[in-house]
A and B are shown apart, each in its own frame.
Chain A
């Protein structure tokens, strides 16, 4: 009986605690309230696409650096004013350089970055073509130069197995 009471008590406390922690945590919507779903999506995409100049390899959604906070505020202000994605990105690139964008524009300096995967795949294809051709060359006339007699012998050997 006492065990049962104890258990009930524990359960009551636990559910109470759960209910308390159930208060929803602060979301982006609380800190940066936006009117429409489209704006919220744009804001989210921008935060994930822009890179923090201080803590490199973090986007500004992720980073806690003061500069990332400033950038979030500025992106928020621009999105709220109805700026589209390109405008926001361009204004950040203007300040911090191409570095700030996870998808840098294609130009002479980033050409290698963008083209390298294609170049590597091309080299791979070339290597495959060469290897296949080479091995194919040896096989093509296999058996063609055999005399009738040799052919008969070969058939016999194969049949024996």
Chain B
């Protein structure tokens, strides 16, 4: 009994080591969204392409979509752009764009030059919706279900791997749910 007790510090140290080791690979920048399970915050924003058209959270109703936060000032957004086009065209996923703290002309030129993966693009020059969503760095991509409820948040670039492992499964789950 006493002998066994002598090993206690070793056991505690090993357990603590395992606990810390599991934390090593985690990305501290990846915060879980506070909005998961909640509806997209209320907004009234202009359409990027048609400034007279006012958009509300109704744009998310009726389909499982991706909400992609981007800006022409964001180099990583350029990286993921082709993959968003791939998602929209090859996979048929509705992608809603949120043009975040950007300039309308520059944003329009960007879509003209690089192609437009977005079904609709919300124009948010002041970053109001971005702030309410808790966006702290573009690009960010959210999965929104048919009722307009936020189901997942991905911070960083979208690419085929991220789609297969993270976004895709969530989208498929919520696509099956209501149908």
A residues bordering B, Cβ < 8 Å? 52-54, 56, 65-67, 70-71, 74, 93-99
B125 within 8 A of A: no
**Other-chain residue from A65, A70, A97 in contact with B32 (beta carbon distance below 8 A):** A97
**Contacts A53-B31, A66-B101, A70-B127; A95 near B134 (Cβ below 8 A):** yes
1/0 contact string of B30-63 vs chain A (CB within 8 Å): 0111110000000000000000000000000000
**Other-chain residue from B34, B127, B137 in contact with A95 (beta carbon distance below 8 A):** B34
| A99→B29 CA distance, assembly (Å) | 11
Which residues on B sit within 8 Å (CB–CB) of A56?
28-29
B7 within 8 A of A: no
**Contacts A53-B31, A56-B29, A70-B127; A96 near B101 (Cβ below 8 A):** no
**Other-chain residue from B28, B29, B31 in contact with A96 (beta carbon distance below 8 A):** B31
| A54→B131 CA distance, assembly (Å) | 13
Query: Can you name 13 A-B pairs with beta carbons within 8 Å?
Result: A53-B134, A54-B136, A56-B29, A66-B101, A93-B34, A95-B131, A95-B132, A95-B133, A96-B34, A97-B31, A97-B34, A97-B134, A99-B31
Which residues on B sit within 8 Å (CB–CB) of A95?
34-35, 131-134
Complex A-B, nearest 7 residue pairs according to Cβ-Cβ distance, in ascending order: A97-B34, A53-B136, A95-B134, A96-B134, A67-B136, A54-B136, A70-B131
1/0 contact string of B82-104 vs chain A (CB within 8 Å): 00000000000000000001000
Tell me the smallest distance from the CB of A101 to a CB of chain B, in Å.
Answer: 11
Which residues on B sit within 8 Å (CB–CB) of A99?
31
Tell me the smallest distance from the CB of B39 to a CB of chain A, in Å.
Answer: 12
B residues bordering A, Cβ < 8 Å? 28-29, 31-35, 101, 127, 131-137
| A132→B132 CA distance, assembly (Å) | 58
| A67→B134 CA distance, assembly (Å) | 9
Which residues on A sit within 8 Å (CB–CB) of B101?
66
Which residues on B sit within 8 Å (CB–CB) of A94?
34
| A50→B132 CA distance, assembly (Å) | 16
Which residues on A sit within 8 Å (CB–CB) of B136?
52-54, 65, 67, 96
| A19→B32 CA distance, assembly (Å) | 52
Tell me the smallest distance from the CB of B31 to a CB of chain A, in Å.
Answer: 5
Q: A65-B136, A95-B133 are in contact. List 17 more A-B contacts (CB 8 A).
A: A52-B136, A53-B31, A53-B134, A53-B136, A66-B101, A66-B127, A67-B131, A67-B136, A70-B131, A71-B131, A93-B34, A95-B35, A95-B131, A96-B31, A97-B32, A97-B34, A97-B134
